[in-house]
């Protein structure tokens, strides 16, 4: 297997620059130099992907204690923070949904309800994908939706009139719609996409600020719905209109898939019950705590209780005794959990070394810069950089710095951090930007230029939307 030249360069350049920074001290402090050196090392490895981004996230655990930044307990606690376990519980819930194929049934039901005309099929696939992406990884929901979408396209291409230009545009809009809906769907919940959890974990760890599941949902769901509407309109009405009439191919595929699933199984009902109970507890957590006077439910605690239920609730099945067995967790993306821990440890190192304070003071003393201009620049940089590197790594790098900028500008921290973080989920231009983009690109129905054409428009609209969100919307929820 070839090891690309940029990865080779990054592999050497990261530690080399770290050593140079340590040997050429700045005027800040020895600890600050050390943290900056390790941060530069991590950024280079994250950008070039010289090694797995999760392996890079272990560098603070290995280097901070040795170099005297933090002791081993101080670093290790971030890899087991409550935010990490919140996402762990979310991953377990996603595994259960996938194992009993409840996610597929939900998707098919939504598509069936929206109708079978070409544009309604696109809308149905987008709504179903976005809904699933709120609860399971955007990669998993794209993998679920793509085969069904390809079946619809195949039936269209083999009808009597061949594969017309309108049908090609339908296929293109359908593929792009699925990928883009998977990207923005995760914005709606804390567990929907890793960047959201990076932000929430950072705020809880460094500033003891809690953003609850329900507060995030109430704030972010309208933004997801707006972006989903914009994506649908841009693809279907503006960039790639198909102008096709009613076609029975999609109805045939949906009916066939639903027949294959059969009746709702006992396991599906039990997973659905646990799923609904967990969401209900997340939404009504504070009233329940207030009313009971005894319970002290937390979002993380609810997540872990839900995860435990999947392992201990029996089902009437000869092959399976419980909904999930521990062997099922082999498919759990453990590396993402390590990545969260590494990001929190790096952020804590930056704060303890005084680097965030320096950024804050520099911004506070800067004159002549409009706040709106600075915010617009941050959102734009985040959104377009996420086209080129992992959005999780990018948010991990950006969030501590943006927090310092917000303090320096005397802005409520969440007002700035939320739109910048949401920008990391708005990658619409390039196949390599997100796994959903890459998956649908591999279908063969999309050219890079076609994705870029739609993506440039959507990226530009997303920047404007997020600037408006900063200016007028976020203050309604967080004061």
**pLDDT digit string, tens, across residues 264-300:** 888 889 998 998 898 888 888 888 888 887 888 888 8
Contacts of 157 (CB under 8 A, 6+ apart): 163, 167, 171
Does residue 388 surpass a pLDDT of 80? no
Distance CA 423, CA 414 (A): 14
The answer to whether residue 400 is domain-embedded is: no
Sign of CA dihedral 457, 108, 196, 222: positive
Mean pLDDT, the chain, rounded, equals 86
pTM of the full predicted structure?
Answer: 0.84
**Percent of the chain predicted with pLDDT > 70:** 94
Across-strand partners of 314? 322
pLDDT class for 395, splitting at 50, 70, 90? confident
Q: Please indicate, yes or no, if residue 112 is contained in any of the structural domains.
A: yes
Position 177 confidence tier, pLDDT thresholds 50, 70, 90: very high
Q: What are phi and psi of 369, to 5 degrees?
A: -105, 130
- Domain assignment of residue 61, yes or no: no
Q: How confident is the model at residue 472 (pLDDT cuts 50, 70, 90)?
A: very high
Q: Quote the pLDDT of residue 147.
A: 84
- Taking residues 460-474, report their average pLDDT: 95
Average pLDDT for 362-373? 73
**Position 342 in a domain:** no
User: Is 60 inside any structural domain?
Assistant: no
Distances from the Cα of 39 to the Cα of 22, 24, 201, angstroms: 12, 16, 19
Residue bearing the bigger pLDDT, 207 or 47: 207
Distance CA 386, CA 186 (A): 15
Q: Which residue has the higher pLDDT, 156 or 371?
A: 371
Q: Is residue 150 part of a domain?
A: yes
User: For residue 115, what pLDDT band results from cuts at 50, 70 and 90?
Assistant: confident
Tally of structural domains, the chain: 1
Mean predicted confidence (pLDDT) in 122-151 = 87
Residue 469 lies in a domain: no
Residue 181, pLDDT score: 95
Mapped onto helix, strand or coil, the DSSP state of residue 322 is strand
Is 151 within the bounds of a domain?
yes
Give me the pLDDT at residue 296, please. 83
| Domain residue limits at 103 | 83-203+213-331
């Amino acid at each position: 297997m070839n090891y690309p030249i940029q990865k080779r360069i990054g592999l050497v350049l990261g530690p080399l620059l770290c050593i140079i920074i340590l040997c050429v001290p700045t005027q800040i402090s020895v600890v600050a130099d050390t943290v900056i050196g390790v941060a530069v090392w991590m950024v280079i490895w994250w950008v070039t992907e010289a090694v797995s981004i999760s392996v890079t996230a272990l560098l603070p655990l290995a280097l901070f204690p040795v170099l005297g930044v933090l002791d081993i307990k101080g670093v290790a606690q971030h890899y087991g923070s409550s935010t990490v376990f919140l996402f762990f519980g979310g991953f377990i819930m996603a595994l259960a949904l996938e194992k009993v194929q409840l996610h597929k049934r939900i998707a098919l039901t939504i598509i069936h309800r929206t109708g079978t005309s070409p544009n309604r099929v696109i809308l149905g696939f987008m709504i179903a994908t976005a809904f699933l992406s709120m609860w399971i990884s955007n990669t998993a929901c794209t993998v679920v939706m793509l085969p069904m979408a390809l079946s619809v396209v195949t039936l269209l291409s083999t009808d009597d009139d061949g594969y017309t230009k309108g049908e090609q545009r339908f296929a293109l809009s359908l593929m792009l719609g699925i990928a883009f809906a998977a990207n923005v769907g995760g914005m709606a919940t804390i567990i929907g996409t890793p960047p959201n959890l990076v932000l929430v974990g950072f705020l809880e760890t460094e500033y003891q600020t809690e953003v609850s599941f329900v507060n995030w949902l109430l704030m972010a769901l309208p933004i997801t719905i707006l972006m989903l509407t914009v994506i649908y309109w841009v693809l279907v009405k503006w960039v790639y209109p198909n102008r096709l009439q009613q076609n029975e191919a999609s109805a045939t595929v949906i009916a066939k898939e639903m027949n294959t699933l059969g009746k709702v199984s006992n396991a599906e009902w039990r997973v659905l019950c646990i799923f609904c109970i967990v969401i209900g507890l997340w939404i009504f957590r504070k009233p329940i705590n207030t009313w009971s006077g005894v319970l002290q439910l937390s979002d993380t605690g609810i997540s872990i209780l839900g995860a435990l239920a999947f392992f201990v609730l029996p089902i009437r099945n000869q092959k399976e005794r419980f909904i999930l067995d521990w062997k099922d967790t082999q498919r759990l993306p453990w590396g993402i959990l390590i990545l969260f821990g590494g990001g929190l440890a790096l952020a804590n190192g930056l704060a303890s070394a005084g680097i965030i304070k320096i950024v804050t003071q520099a911004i506070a003393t800067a004159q002549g810069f409009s706040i709106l201009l600075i915010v617009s620049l941050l959102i734009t940089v985040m959104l377009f950089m996420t086209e080129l590197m992992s959005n999780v790594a990018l948010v991990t790098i950006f969030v501590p710095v943006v927090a310092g900028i917000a303090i320096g500008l005397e802005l409520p921290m969440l007002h700035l951090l939320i739109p910048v973080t949401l920008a990391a989920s708005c990658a619409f231009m390039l196949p390599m930007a997100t796994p959903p983009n890459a998956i649908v690109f591999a279908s063969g129905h999309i050219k890079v230029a076609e994705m870029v054409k739609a993506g440039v428009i959507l990226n530009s609209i997303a920047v404007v939307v997020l600037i408006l969100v900063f200016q007028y919307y976020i203050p309604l929820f967080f004061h």
